[in-house]
Every structure is written in C-alpha cells, then in structure tokens.
C-alpha cells in the first residue's frame, strides 16, 4: 500500500494573503488539492457543476475552518464561460499566486465543445491554455507565482496529430485522452521557455529582482487514482473497483499537485514534469520543442488569440 501511495508533499509552507485557483476541484484529486491548500490560504474552486462545487467547498470550510474557500462558475468546454470567469476574477481579485489547471475529461465518446473542438483536446488542453492566457498578467503582477498543469503518464501514448486534431478522420477515445495529456506537457514546456526567456533577459540587470518576480510552470502525473475520471467507460469503472487496492486514493493522488504548488525547493524550477513529488521521465514526444512551438501557434489560431 505504501508503494502504491507514492510520494507525499512534506512542505508546511503557508499561503497567507495568497490566492489559489483550482479548476475541477469539486471531486477527486482537485477536491483533495483544494482541501490541503485551504489549510494554508485562500482557494477559489472553479467548476462547471456549481451544486457539487458548493457541497465540496462547504465540506472543506467546515473541516479547515477557512471561510475563504470560494466557488466560481467555469465550463472549460465553452470559451465564453472561460472568458466570463476570467473577467469576473480579474474584477474581484487583485492578486493570483497559484493557478492549478486540474480539471479534465477522460474516455469520452466522440463529442465536441461549444466551440467545435474535440472534447478531450478542448477541455484538457485548449480550455486551460485560454484560461492561463487570460490570467497570466495577474500572475506576473503577483509574482512569485506558479502554474501547475495536471497531465498524466498517459502522455507517453500521445501524439499531436496536426492533420486531424479534432479526431474527425479517426477517433479513439483512449488515444484522444493520451493526445490531450501530451498537449499539457508540451504547453507547459513552451510556456516555461517563454517565461524563462523574458526572466533571463531581465536577470542581466536585475538578478536579485528575478528571484522574487518569477512565474514558473510545471506539469505532473498524479498517479493511477481511484476517482470519477473514468466514469465514461463502463469497463474502466469496473476494473477500477476490482483493483482499487492498487490505486491511489484521491488524497494520495493530490500530493504531487500540492508539492508543485507549495514546495519551497521548486521556487525557481520551471518547465519540469513531476510524479510522486519528484522529477519524472518525459516521453521523447513531450520533449520535442518544435512540436511544442507549433502546438502553441495552432492553439492560438483555434482560440483566436495573439500570445507572443
């Protein structure tokens, strides 16, 4: 059981006066991440299902005694909802220190988002890509700040099929999930490169300033977790129940997310991929800088944004 549980975040860092956003935090890994961080500071739970989110937030408030656990509407399958969430947040909050892009879908039957994107790509990658874009300036203003993208070991099975990004020619829901998780890794890599490039230029004149004004971006594999993520597959749901002893609990699965969000030793670490609270191996496709750059540009085109 201890082996299956994996690494644990041992940091006792406080987040007093700091603001955290966690997407998809009404259940599973996201909820446990919110529960931990609510013991440290202010947490905003961003979810599509407001009723479930309020129930989760009420439970966390009662357990932690922290009344600054706030629920906000966010549907990552609809860019209009993402923009409304960002506009409301920026109007109400003057700082943002940690953005955890946790929400995701897995093994969905073929479907598209409100904007016509294949569901896995649209929610897991493009939705979080747009959300990060809209909130990045506030993260920079609040630096030091962190962006944490929840990916998966499944990225090893993914490929970025630019000729058929939305699976209209060929669709396999298992592979579609893998492709979207690879997109998370590549997005993190390219985002970190761009942020680091600007920081390095500034560092030539302001080295001390750099240490306290950095925005980092890292991705992670939470482990195989007994959660609702497999709800779209009867077979996977059945297997998850049978082999639950060999799966992480949601609390155990949340440990690497918490680690990436608060660990002191990661203050200036960026562009890395973690599992069990330590650096992990990234597939060759996840280290392809040219693919990362192309995916960035294509994502901007699909979303109708300019992010230089």
Is 177 a known active-site residue?
yes
- Say how far residue 287 (Cα) sits from the centre of its chain: 18
d(C-alpha 33, C-alpha 41), whole Å: 12
Catalytic residue among 3, 171, 177, 259: 177
Catalytic residues: 177
């Amino acid at each position: 059981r201890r082996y299956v549980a994996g690494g644990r975040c041992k940091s006792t860092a406080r987040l007093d006066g700091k603001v955290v956003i966690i997407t998809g935090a009404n259940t599973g890994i996201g909820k446990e991440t919110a529960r931990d961080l609510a013991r440290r500071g202010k947490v905003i739970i961003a979810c599509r299902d407001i009723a479930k989110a309020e129930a989760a937030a009420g439970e966390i408030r009662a357990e932690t005694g922290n009344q600054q656990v706030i629920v906000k509407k966010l549907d990552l399958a609809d860019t209009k909802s993402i923009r409304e969430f960002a506009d409301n947040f920026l109007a109400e909050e003057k700082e943002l220190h940690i953005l955890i892009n946790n929400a995701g879908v897995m093994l969905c039957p073929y479907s598209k988002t409100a904007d016509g994107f294949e569901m896995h790509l649209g929610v897991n990658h493009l939705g979080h890509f747009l959300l990060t874009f809209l909130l990045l300036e506030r993260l920079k203003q609040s630096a030091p700040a962190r962006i944490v993208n929840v990916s998966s070991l499944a990225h090893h099975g993914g490929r970025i099929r630019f000729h058929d990004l939305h699976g209209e020619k060929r669709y396999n829901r298992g592979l579609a999930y893998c492709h979207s998780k690879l997109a998370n890794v590549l997005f993190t890599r390219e985002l970190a490169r761009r942020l680091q490039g600007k920081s390095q230029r500034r560092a030539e004149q302001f080295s001390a300033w750099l240490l306290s004004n950095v925005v980092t971006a890292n991705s992670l594999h939470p482990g195989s977790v007994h959660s609702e993520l497999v709800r779209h597959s009867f077979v996977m749901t059945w297997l998850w129940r049978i082999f639950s002893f060999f799966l992480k609990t949601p609390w155990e699965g949340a440990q690497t997310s918490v680690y990436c969000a608060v660990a002191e030793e990661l203050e200036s670490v960026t562009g890395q991929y973690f599992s069990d609270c330590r650096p992990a191996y990234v597939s060759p496709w996840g280290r392809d800088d040219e693919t990362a750059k192309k995916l960035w540009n294509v994502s901007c085109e699909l979303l109708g944004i300019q992010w230089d």
